[in-house]
Chain A
Amino acid sequence: MKALAFVATLVIGAILLYGTMDFPAFGDPQSPASTHLSSYYIEQAIDETHVPNLVTAILGDYRGYDTMFETVVIYCAGLAVVCVLRRSKP
């Protein structure tokens, strides 16, 4: 059983490594991920928000919904843990 699991891991790893051969090179400016919206953010973010750190500008302004619901998810997780574990003293 252990040998079977090892062989399965090797085969899946080889398939995944074969899949990475089609990836664009590291930092390739012509890759699909960096031709669509990245150039707009890099050119316009400082003019539109006056925030030099691009990551903060994107997380806080352009993708505000994402950050907001991330905070709400963390809040709900904390609320659930408090509701399950907290025992109030009699």
Chain B
Amino acid sequence: MIWSIDLLILLLVVFCAVAAITVKDLLSATVIFGVYSFLMCLLWAEMGAVDVAFTEATVGAGISTVLFIAAILHTSRRSKD
């Protein structure tokens, strides 16, 4: 637990979270969400919870991104708001 690495990752997590809900393009939002998942995975691995980090890397960054893209393919890419 090194506080400077923690602070850096947490700042990047907050930045990715704000970017994912403000961007208009849903495909970009999906990719930013994948980046968010990887940063959370890094944070958990750094805190010593390796099993949770593994699950986050496989499910959050791997599968859910692909499922989001498959769902966006059948709707519209632009968000309305």
Residues of A within 8 A of B (CB): 26-27, 55
Contacts and interface: CB of A to CB of B under 8 A. Distances in A.
The B contact surface, by secondary structure, is: helix
Contacts of B47: 26
Contacts, number: 4
Interface of B: 1, 47, 51
B9 to A, nearest CB: 15
Minimum-distance CB pairs A-B, first 4:
A55-B51, A26-B1, A27-B1, A26-B47
A26 B2 CA distance: 11
A33 to B, nearest CB: 14
Nearest to B3: A26
B80 to A, nearest CB: 17
B64 to A, nearest CB: 13
A27 B1 CA distance: 10
A36 to B, nearest CB: 19
A59 to B, nearest CB: 8
Contacts of B1: 26-27
A31 B1 CA distance: 18
Nearest to B49: A55
B24 to A, nearest CB: 16
Nearest to A54: B51
B72 to A, nearest CB: 15
A60 to B, nearest CB: 12
Contacts of A55: 51
Nearest to A59: B51
4 contacts: A26-B1, A26-B47, A27-B1, A55-B51
